[in-house]
Amino acid sequence: MNSNFFRQEVDAAVDALLLQQVILYPTDTVWGLGCDAEVPPAVERLYQLKQRPADKACIVLVADEAMFAKYAAVVPPNLAALLAGQERPTTYIVPGSRHLAPNLLAPDGTIGLRVVSTDEFSHKVVRRLGHGLVSTSANLSGEPTAAIYKDVAAAIVRGADYVVSWRQDDTTAAVPSRVVRVLADGGLEVVRK
């Protein structure tokens, strides 16, 4: 790994996010579009670029359990055990908190949160930003998910304010995260395997 290039890409992505811009970046799963999860105009811009219906919520990447707790109105009492036991990136649907951009929440007030721990780039960006990072697949709504950079549609590349160069040549096929809804009793309902 070229550590200088890596740091430069992290810094550039964070700078763009602090300017309330939309970035195209490699996540812990597939290539994604992202913005600061606390900035409503940035969220609106991301939805416009993706041509995503406003009532369809996005996932938010967080750095750790503390950041998860900031954005969840209700934190699962067994969160540490859930995170320790997951075998692949998993998104947890929970009631969203007031710290999130309101236009990011689903109509029922929930949000999908994922602690990013298996991908150093995404983790560093979220940690440095200090806020949740919106993560939605880098494709137009209804189109196939871009597992690798070369699969990202030209319209998405052109529309992003900043395109991360890190891992653009990676051809390892990735899959979207597992999605589970956290139930009132702490149990899980699988939404996407």
Query: How far is Cα 100 from Cα 16, in angstroms, rounded to an integer?
Result: 19
Separation of alpha carbons 123 and 118, rounded Å: 8
Q: Residue 9's domain spans which residues? A: 3-192
| Total of domains in the chain | 1
With vertex at residue 176, the alpha carbon angle to CA 36 and CA 190, rounded to the nearest 5 degrees, is 100
Q: Can you give the CATH number for the domain in which 161 is found?
A: 3.90.870.10
Could you read off the pLDDT tens digit of each residue along the chain, which spans 193 residues?
A: 689 999 999 999 999 999 999 999 999 999 999 999 999 999 999 999 999 998 888 999 999 999 999 999 999 988 999 999 898 999 999 999 999 999 999 999 999 999 998 899 999 999 999 999 999 999 999 999 998 999 999 999 999 999 999 999 999 878 889 999 998 887 889 999 8
pLDDT of amino acid 87: 87
Neighbours of 166 (CB within 10 A): 21
Q: So what's the pLDDT on residue 55?
A: 87
pLDDT for 1 equals 65
Residue 61 sits at φ, ψ, to 5 deg, of: -85, 135
133-167 tens-digit pLDDT: 999 999 999 999 998 999 999 999 999 999 999 99
Residue holding tokens 């490699």? Answer: 26
- Nearest Cα residue to 75 out of 184, 179, 191, 177: 184
**Contacts for 124 with CB less than 8 Å, ≥ 6 apart:** 10
pLDDT at 101: 97
Closest CA to 153 of 168, 161, 143: 143
